[in-house]
Structures are given as structure tokens and as C-alpha cells.
Amino acid sequence: MTTFDRARRIVKIVTGFTLLMVGVLMLALPGPGLVTMGIGLALLAGEYLWAKRLLARVRAGAAHVKRRVSSRQAERRYDK
């Protein structure tokens, strides 16, 4: 591994953890906390297995929410 690759990996890890922490803060403060946390988690998923697994769970949960919301919207359209 070259020095450039190591530096790039360190920057990626530090940026990922920073975005994750800022996202947690934005849950209480104004801002897109969940989006920021997702971006940070995506960066960390390239380096850590735990982050990759957590990101897969988050994506599955988001897909589930999307299906539920779209099915409710379809029900409302047909109820009119």
C-alpha cells in the first residue's frame, strides 16, 4: 500500500466518522441528519464490515418504509 493510498484511506475514515457524528447532532438540530448519517455510513462501509452490515439494514428498512408509504398512497387514490 502506497503512502497516497494510506492517506486516502485515513481521509475517508475521518470524513465518514465526522459525517456520522454531525448527522447525529443534526437529529436534534436543524438539518438533514438522516441523510448525513447515511453518507457517512456509506463512506465507512468501504472500510469496515460493521458499517457495511449496518448500511444494508438501513437500506432494507428504507425500502420497507417506501413500500408502505406507496401502498398507502395507492389506497387513498382508490378510496376517492
Domain that holds residue 31: 3-79
Give the global pTM. 0.77
- Average pLDDT, integer, range 27-33: 91
Residues 50-73: tens digit of each pLDDT:
999 999 999 999 999 988 888 876
41-75 b/e with 16+ CB inside 10 Å = b?
bbbbbeeeeebeeebeebeeeeeeeeeeeeeeeee
Residues 38-50: tens digit of each pLDDT:
999 999 999 999 9
Number of structural domains in the chain: 1
Give one DSSP letter per residue of 24-44, joined into a string.
Answer: HHHHHSSS-HHHHHHHHHHHH
